[in-house]
């Protein structure tokens, strides 16, 4: 058997042409132990063991073909179908079993092991530090900078307008309720969700909420004037900048968000129209079970931080790249990939760069009705929500990096099945700046009107540039960067194709010098297909530039000739035929 024949035999292992995958849940369906054991026996002959990461899943192929229509006068072209049909949201038997392929997890870099020493923490022109660095000690709550007697107040278009500012028309009064403070919105604000949550409490729980927790949260909100002694800059579009705050300061910001005290942030007709919502007013309306679960998750956070003041730091960084790769001429070869059908980015991806499948308004619908990947992450790590206060909507060459966010809650389910599952004790170690070694990057994908739109050259370049912006760290050597923990970015309601997005993220990671840990959230067919195409890339020594050229060719030769719907020839079949010649 020749070498090309061996490669093709290795790749022709699945039975069906894939269709575009829908939105995948984080939690694969459960089964009884008997079903798990029978699946284990069945898959033992179909899959490699975890100790042999480079061995592909063994599967006896049944090759199918379809006929691609060609211009009149030419012969119809028979297209081999080498990849799986994606199951969408339905659960096949194979999805119950946890499976992983590719590089060994131990070969992927994680923080803190791969990190180089940090420089001394100090404020610069592009980095605002709101605490005294000379008094920064483990186990002690950081002290605000400057001291309260030297407090500086700004009320302009480049800084956060704080409720404690002397320029605020409605200064905070502890006797005022939310509606009195926001009198102009009183007629149309609703508190149905908050009322439903409160009426569902037991008598002891209700007493604890109204007599203890809410008063403690109010006192925390009122500490703003002593905790924020210098103005907080806005992270505006097309400008790199960082803000380092204490967890104690962030908890104060979030308490004010809960009581809806941030001025000029309740209308889209203000100077903050290009910023996300920060006040929690939309969280309190409606009668859905999901809103009540959100409230449980957030009140868990407030109970923790009002009982014991957190003592770490966080850094919020807006990264804007003015120089982007020339994708067609890139000579970078593909980096390592570990792909798993089980696990989550926040758990199994610890110590890695963790991708937030973001909205351009970071946090998406976390303070509204949204409850998918980004919103869930912002709920269980509530300190992420503070970014909505000062982060302008992301543009195509930008991302937001949050370092140090602590996880306070556990959860189960996804979207409508989301449930708060109790406290989480985050044991992630801290760096020299007392930040958790948790680095989360928010990158927003495009939303498509049709399946074929995402294959257009401009869309391909935009998604590659966005992912690259999130993954790259200019000036940092590759050996000092952790792997990227990611998954089906932009593949839910945004309409992205899981298989295309996997290739684009592989390309961006390779260009940025990072390995990739990819989670398919229960989809074993996707796992097989992505692993096979990555194996093909590495075995043929394909470069990022050569694969980009093939993506353009697929658009010209296949997508443009498809009237509507999805092409008969899939992307992976096309790439396989071109690379395996």
Catalytic residues: 356, 374-375
Nearest to 31, CA basis, from 101, 99, 94: 94
Size of the chain in residues: 581
Exposure string of 354-385, with b = 16+ CB inside 10 Å and e = fewer, is: bbbbbbbbbbbbbbbbbbbbbbbbbbbbbbbb
**Of all helices (H) and strands (E), which one includes residue 537?**
helix 524-539
What token pair was written down for 440? Answer: 């989360």
Given the structure tokens 């990227």, which residue do they identify? 484
The long-range contacts involving 323-326, CB below 8 angstroms and separated by at least 24 positions, are 324/397, 324/465, 324/468, 324/469, 325/464, 325/465, 325/468, 325/511
Maximum separation of any 2 CA atoms in the chain, in Å:
86
End-to-end Cα spacing for the chain: 15
Q: Residue 81: what are its φ and ψ, rounded to 5°? A: -100, 110
Distance, CA of 346 to CA of 162 (rounded, Å): 32
CB 575 within 8 A of CB 581: no
Three-state secondary structure string covering 374-390:
HHHHHHHCHHHHHHHHH
Q: 571-579 and 498-512 are packed helices; what angle lies between their axes, rounded to 10 degrees?
A: 50
- Cβ atoms of 95 and 25 closer than 8 Å: no
Q: At what angle do helices 289-307 and 214-221 cross, to 10 degrees?
A: 70
Instruction: Give the containing element (helix H, strand E) for 470.
Output: helix 457-471
DSSP one-letter code for 355: E
Helix (H, G, I), strand (E, B) or coil at 245: strand
- Please give the Cα distance from 330 to 325 (Å, whole number): 8
Q: What are the Cα distances from residue 115, in Å, to 111, 354, 418, 469?
A: 6, 15, 35, 20
At CA 168, angle to CA 164 and CA 172, rounded to 5?
45
> Cβ distance 335 to 509 under 8 Å?
yes
List, in sequence order, every residue forming a beta bridge with 77; answer none if it has no partner: 68
Q: Do β-strands 353-358 and 484-486 pair in parallel, antiparallel, or remain unpaired?
A: parallel
Distance of alpha carbon 519 from alpha carbon 487, whole angstroms: 5
């Amino acid at each position: 058997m020749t070498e090309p024949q061996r490669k093709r035999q290795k790749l022709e292992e699945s039975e069906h042409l894939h269709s575009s995958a829908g939105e995948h849940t984080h939690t694969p369906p459960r089964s009884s132990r008997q079903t798990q054991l029978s699946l284990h026996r069945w898959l033992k002959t179909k899959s490699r063991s975890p100790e042999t990461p480079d061995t592909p899943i063994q599967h006896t192929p049944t090759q199918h073909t379809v006929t691609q229509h060609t211009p009149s006068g030419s012969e119809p072209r028979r297209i081999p179908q080498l990849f799986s049909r994606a199951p969408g949201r339905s659960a096949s038997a194979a999805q119950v079993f946890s499976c992983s392929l590719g590089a060994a997890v131990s070969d992927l870099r994680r923080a803190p092991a791969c990190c180089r020493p940090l420089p001394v923490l100090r404020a610069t022109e592009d980095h605002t530090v709101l605490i005294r660095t000379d008094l920064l000690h483990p186990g002690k709550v950081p002290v605000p900078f400057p001291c309260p007697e030297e407090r500086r107040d700004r009320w302009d278009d480049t800084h956060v307008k704080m409720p404690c500012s002397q320029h605020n028309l409605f200064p905070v009064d502890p006797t005022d309720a939310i509606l009195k403070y926001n009198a102009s919105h009183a007629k149309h604000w609703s508190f149905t969700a908050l009322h439903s949550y409160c009426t569902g409490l037991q008598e002891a729980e209700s007493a604890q909420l109204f007599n203890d927790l809410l008063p403690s949260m109010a006192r925390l909100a009122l500490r703003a004037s002593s905790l924020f002694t210098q103005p907080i800059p806005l992270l505006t579009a097309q400008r790199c900048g960082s803000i380092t705050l204490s967890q104690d300061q962030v908890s104060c910001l979030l308490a004010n968000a809960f009581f809806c005290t941030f001025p000029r942030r309740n209308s889209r007709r203000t100077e903050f129209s290009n910023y996300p919502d920060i006040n929690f007013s939309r969280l309190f309306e409606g009668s859905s079970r999901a809103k009540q679960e959100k409230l449980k998750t957030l009140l868990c956070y407030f109970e923790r931080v009002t009982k014991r003041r957190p003592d770490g730091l966080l850094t919020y960084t807006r990264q804007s790249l003015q120089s982007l790769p020339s994708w067609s001429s890139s000579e970078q070869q593909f980096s390592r990939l570990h792909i798993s059908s089980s696990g989550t980015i926040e758990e199994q991806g610890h110590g890695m760069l963790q991708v937030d499948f973001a909205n351009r308004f970071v946090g998406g619908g976390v303070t509204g009705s949204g409850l998918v990947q980004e919103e869930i992450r912002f709920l269980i790590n509530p300190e992420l929500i503070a970014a909505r206060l000062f982060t302008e909507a992301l543009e195509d060459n930008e991302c937001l990096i949050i370092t140090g966010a602590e996880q306070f809650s556990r959860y189960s389910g996804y979207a409508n099945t989301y449930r708060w599952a109790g406290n989480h004790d985050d044991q992630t170690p801290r760096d020299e700046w007392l930040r958790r070694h948790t680095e989360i990057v928010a990158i927003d994908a495009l939303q498509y009107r049709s399946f074929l739109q995402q294959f257009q050259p401009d869309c391909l370049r935009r998604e590659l540039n966005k992912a690259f912006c999130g993954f790259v760290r200019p000036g940092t050597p590759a050996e000092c960067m952790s792997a990227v923990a990611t998954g089906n970015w932009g593949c839910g309601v945004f309409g992205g194709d899981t298989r295309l997005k996997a290739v684009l993220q592989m390309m961006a990671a390779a260009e940025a010098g990072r390995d990739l840990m990819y989670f398919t959230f229960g989809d074993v067919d996707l796992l097989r297909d992505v692993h096979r195409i990555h194996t093909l890339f590495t075995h043929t020594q394909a470069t990022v530039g050569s694969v980009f050229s093939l993506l353009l060719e697929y658009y010209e030769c296949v997508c443009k000739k498809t009237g509507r719907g999805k092409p008969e020839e899939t992307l992976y079949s096309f790439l396989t035929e071109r690379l395996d010649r």
